[in-house]
Chains A and B, each alone.
Chain A
Amino acid sequence: MVEWTDAERTAIIGLWGKLNIDEIGPQALSRCLIVYPWTQRYFSTFGNLSSPAAIMGNAKVAAHGRTVMGGLERAIKNMDNIKATYAALSVMHSEKLHVDPDNFKLLADCITVCAAMKFGPSGFNADIQEAWQKFLSVVVSALGRQYH
């Protein structure tokens, strides 16, 4: 069971409340596909990913970014039981999507960078970063848990 301090809970929920998930989802996913190009392997049906501009303008990428943030919302709402909440999602990523779980961390890092860009050094200070990254690492771990 993950233990969250009151400070961590406040930081995570506070940050989530200030995020615009329709904005950050597309930003984070397109950043992931640009900065870590091998992640494009999972999106061959998404059309034109041939350049950063193409990726950033791709409607399917944007839609999928919003889907990912919807998934993250479930973790926010079930912070004390992320493992169970994500069990089916983990199975899907393993059995159906065949995603290498090492890539989940890359998307998590891109979400972190987008939050940093938005909130700056005081809105996203070291303590908030610590709490946020702890939350994302629990999410990443839960997503990879059902792989066998």
Chain B
Amino acid sequence: MIPVAEDIGSEALLRMFTTFPKTKTYFSHLDISPNSDHLRCHGKKIVQALAEGARNISTLATTLAPLSRFHAYLLRIHPTNFKLLNHCILVTLACHMGDNFTPVAHAAIDKFLSAFSAVLAEKFR
């Protein structure tokens, strides 16, 4: 998935910013217009972090500890927003995978994204 990390990541972010405009409030420091360098770069970072988590899926809490601290103490993103990005990642995958995005694949990826977000949010309090 890595070669298309930028495409999937930036498309998911764009979908999130368009469908849920309040999520843009966390990005006032970046240019998040469609196809901007910032959007592509940030989308790539997110997908690469997800891929890293998937490679070490049984030790998510350890692998993601630095990211978890970052989201809790520095970014302080309202936890409901993780679900919004997860949903847009799923929609992006559905668009590109078509029939290959079977209900079983959907369930597995949704489960993984939920577990990933839970680790990111676990140090919030």
Contacts of B87 in A (CB 8 A): 109
Q: Contact at B18–A130, with CB atoms within 8 Å? A: yes
Query: Which B residues have a C-beta under 8 Å from some C-beta of A?
Result: 11, 14-15, 17-19, 34, 87, 90-92, 94-99, 101, 103-104, 106-107, 110
Known: A30-B103, A120-B98. 17 other contacts (CB 8 A): A31-B103, A34-B104, A35-B103, A112-B91, A113-B101, A113-B106, A114-B94, A116-B92, A116-B95, A117-B94, A117-B97, A119-B95, A124-B91, A126-B11, A126-B15, A129-B15, A129-B18
- In the complex, what's the smallest C-beta–C-beta distance from B33 to chain A, in angstroms? 12
Bound complex: CA of A116 vs CA of B100, how far in Å? 12
Partner of B19, one of A56, A114, A130: A130
Interface size, chain A (Cβ < 8 Å):
23
B18, B99, B103, B104 — which one has the most chain A CB atoms within 10 A of its CB?
B103
- In the complex, what's the smallest C-beta–C-beta distance from B113 to chain A, in angstroms? 12
- In the complex, what's the smallest C-beta–C-beta distance from A8 to chain B, in angstroms? 12
Bound complex: CA of A52 vs CA of B98, how far in Å? 18
> Looking across the interface, which residue of chain A has its beta carbon closest to that of B18?
A126
A30, A55, A119, A126 — which one has the most chain B CB atoms within 10 A of its CB?
A126
Q: Contact at B103–A117, with CB atoms within 8 Å? A: no
The answer to whether the Cβ of A17 comes within 8 Å of any Cβ in the partner chain is no
A89-148 interface with B by 8 A CB criterion: 109, 112-114, 116-121, 124, 126-127, 129-130, 133
Partner of B11, one of A31, A35, A121: A121
> Looking across the interface, which residue of chain B has its beta carbon closest to that of A56?
B103
Bound complex: CA of A119 vs CA of B17, how far in Å? 20
Given A35-B110, A129-B18, A133-B19, does the pair A113, B91 have CB atoms closer than 8 Å?
yes
- In the complex, what's the smallest C-beta–C-beta distance from B96 to chain A, in angstroms? 6
